[in-house]
Amino acid sequence: MLESKARQALRARAHSLKPTITVGARGVTESVLAELDRALTDHELIKLRLPALEKDERESCIASLSGSGAEIVGRVGRILILYRPRPDATSSTRKEKTRS
């Protein structure tokens, strides 16, 4: 869980970002989840554009998107900002060196 200062800083960083992923009328599919995982791994902080659904349907869509291990940083209308820190690259490097 992010502290409010960290969440505020991430929202400020995301302000200039354009939506990386647009969820279509079919909602959250396997391909959307795969693209979400790839985008979060590459960028850490992304914006998503949600479909024009009823509020209840949009809330269930958001719940399934946040199940990817990402934290919701902010939400404005149909735009959702997600953050997931990258895996620590130094720990994987250390594991490889100890195996050698």
Task: Name, in order, each residue with C-beta under 8 angstroms of 41's C-beta and a sequence gap of 6 or more.
Answer: 84, 86, 87
* pLDDT, average across residues 71-99: 71
For residue 58, the model assigns a pLDDT of 81
Task: Note the pLDDT tens digit of each residue in 63-83.
Answer: 888 777 888 898 888 899 999
Considering the entire predicted model, what is its pTM? 0.78
How would residue 91 be classed by pLDDT, with cut points 50, 70 and 90? very low
Round the average pLDDT of the chain to a whole number and report it.
81
For residue 97, the model assigns a pLDDT of 45
- Measured over the CA atoms of residue 70, residue 48, residue 65 and residue 41, the dihedral's sign is negative
Domains and CATH numbers, the chain: 4-99 (3.30.110.60)
Query: 10, 45 in Cβ contact below 8 A?
Result: yes
